Structure 1
């Protein structure tokens, strides 16, 4: 009797196929929810020129808006990640998206600067609740393929981040601030998806492989930020800092830069922002397989330092040159994020939620603080001068040469 005729073999094969099918279905749903979440987050920078004009804001006040949404996310994400590592509330993702929904409705109806800040704080809090737990949920559905799960999860966020400004250009130019409420539809769709994901998480089929990482209890919290691991985290933070100074200045002020220097319309500036974010999304996706092929240390170094020549030339080229150089620099420097995050996760096994929360939160927090500072500086020396200084930051990628080749006895 052949294996295909063996009832036990046929039954086991059917179980494996069902588990694989369930795994991919859940990953695609998480991917779609991530797309909706990050599309909403990307709408905030796209609304800044509109809010600046409507309320006659200074660059410092514009920067504070971004600072509030990103710092709110950065403060909450590590705590949410830590809590998720220990005990996860099954519908926490739905609740988090509900907070985002509330923030969008409030922002569309805001009639004062203070209300704008409160509204974007809700949106930042919703993102903070979403990212660590969604990353954990993707790994739970990985079915023994954590790399694939992370890639599917990341593609959703990258796609949403890229299309957010494009959607804003199409909607906000026609409906103005009231159009922000239309983006609440994406939050509503995500809530439905996340509620379903939460229910299906309780009905995991037989044959689905459990995550293979160590339990969080076997990785002491005190050991993560000291010794060799602490030194590695410090270096990764510096590298993330250099990346975020450059990318945050572009995501928040690129529209203002091309409007002021080249006299383009607000809608045209949104398409330029879309080109930048789409390139950044592509770079993040490419960073995963490139890291697997060439190694984390090499990709981190080449991606940040490699972007420097293109970044340094940005303030001195024409409008077409800005678009071309922005796309190239964004693709190169964005490929570093995956390598940085994987290096951190590799150094602290069993702490997926906490480490993801720290690094996602650190990225958001740095972006917020830097954007606020840059806004104050731009009010005094002009947006063009700010760009000249921020384009120097990719040179800090030289710090990657100090990254260790091994961590805790394992290759980095």
Structure 2
């Protein structure tokens, strides 16, 4: 009897892991088409529509803000009544918005389509992260790391696609992403039967969850995520412009952006794995503190040192990515969708606001001067982290 129960439990765990990998792959495709490609496309959009740095920053702002505002809203909507069909609807809107933006006849239509893609991403993320949460078991940090590394690697691959084929094809090459949308749709449909069954089981478990919400701690954590996001999005969006000003080609500049974001994907996975063993609070603090010197070095180094500094910068700045999601869920145990939307949606999407400000500052003072300001953002984040509640105090309040 015990052997049979153990075998059944093992099969369920393997099934959950397979669904988690499928969700991670879907997350990869979703984020390639949003936070991955949109920042990398800014130079092409800028040239095609004859834009200023500020107008280019507005494109990134629209992409991020539509996703950031909609994610916590959709997360709150679905906390009591999850909607499985949000997964395919979200991924289809994301793909359509990006694909159609390659054929936009005017700047305002481009903004509309980029915004539609952002809303699709906002619909997709809360439900997908709820699925990752239900597949986690006791290793929540590792599960979030597996799910989030898909998205972060998608962000990294976006800039890589530019020198591979989009520079040659131009914006019309975005039409090929209709196939990526179809692949994501097939993947997410394969997850839905398991997801529906898991929601039924989780509904009974949710009623048993005890514990108080900690709005003060969640607000501080969201501010930390916003500062981290401004750093990440600012570097990813404007690094090609920095290298163009240094005489480095757009192709090589986008390869460097890929390196930065790929290092972030590695950091996301490692941070999530470590968070199952060590304090969430101090892991976040350590990641922000270590980021500071590399943020300062980035605009001042060249050659092989640029590669080394950029990789370590990306590794540490995003090593707290999955951790902040799990930490936020611990602070708001009955509102997984809302927390997921805040940590990945609002927090990261607020980077679009930072991108607009960075674009304006770049017009006024130049890109190089702006990169010297990035050192202050992880510094502010590290200071705020010191005031976060410890996990021990959160668990004692349950």
Same fold? TM cut 0.5? yes
Q: Does 2:241 align with 1:256?
A: yes
Residue 15 of structure 1 corresponds to: 8
Structural mapping, 1:116-131, within 5 Å: 116-131=110-125
List 4+ stretches of structure 1 deviating above 6 A.
216-219
Q: Does 2:266 align with 1:290?
A: no
Structure 1: gaps of 5 or more residues? 1-7
Task: Give the Å deviation of 1:12.
Answer: 3.3
Task: Give the Å deviation of 1:67.
Answer: 0.3
Report Cα offsets for 1:260-309 as digits up to 9, x if no partner: 1x211111111011001101111111111233333112111111111111
Structure 1 residues 193, 317: CA separation in 2 closer, same or farther (over 3 Å shift)?
A: same
Structure 1 residues 211, 144: CA separation in 2 closer, same or farther (over 3 Å shift)?
A: farther
TM-score (norm 2): 0.92
Task: Give the Å deviation of 1:91.
Answer: 1.7
Structure 1 residues 200, 240: CA separation in 2 closer, same or farther (over 3 Å shift)?
A: closer
Alignment counterpart, residue 267 of structure 1, candidates 251, 263, 274: 251
Task: Give the Å deviation of 1:10.
Answer: 5.3
Alignment counterpart, residue 279 of structure 1, candidates 243, 263, 277: 263
Between the aligned partners of 1:210 and 1:197, the Cα distance in structure 2 is 16
Task: Give the Å deviation of 1:230.
Answer: 2.7
Between the aligned partners of 2:18 and 2:170, the Cα distance in structure 1 is 37
Residue 83 of structure 1 corresponds to: 77
Between the aligned partners of 1:216 and 1:367, the Cα distance in structure 2 is 36
Residue 65 of structure 2 corresponds to: 71
Residue 3 of structure 1 corresponds to: none
Structure 2 contact 24–148 (Cα < 8 Å) conserved: yes
Structure 1 contact 347–407 (Cα < 8 Å) conserved: no
Residue 352 of structure 2 corresponds to: 368
The number of residues matched between the two structures is 395
Q: Which is higher, the Rg of structure 1 or of structure 2?
A: 1
Report SS of the residue matched to 1:109.
coil
Between the aligned partners of 2:300 and 2:181, the Cα distance in structure 1 is 40
Residue 37 of structure 1 corresponds to: 30
Between the aligned partners of 1:203 and 1:404, the Cα distance in structure 2 is 35
Structure 2 contact 145–273 (Cα < 8 Å) conserved: no
Structure 1 contact 303–336 (Cα < 8 Å) conserved: yes
Between the aligned partners of 1:388 and 1:85, the Cα distance in structure 2 is 41
Between the aligned partners of 2:176 and 2:310, the Cα distance in structure 1 is 29
Structure 1 residues 135, 149: CA separation in 2 closer, same or farther (over 3 Å shift)?
A: same
Between the aligned partners of 1:12 and 1:409, the Cα distance in structure 2 is 30
Between the aligned partners of 1:84 and 1:217, the Cα distance in structure 2 is 17
Task: Give the Å deviation of 1:345.
Answer: 1.2
The alignment's C-alpha RMSD in Å is: 2.5
Structural mapping, 1:194-343, within 5 Å: 194-202=188-196, 214-215=206-207, 224=213, 229-260=214-245, 262-343=246-327
Structure 1 contact 308–395 (Cα < 8 Å) conserved: yes
Structure 2 contact 27–147 (Cα < 8 Å) conserved: yes
Q: Does 2:395 align with 1:401?
A: no
Report SS of the residue matched to 1:293.
coil
Q: Does 2:22 align with 1:24?
A: no
Report SS of the residue matched to 2:372.
helix
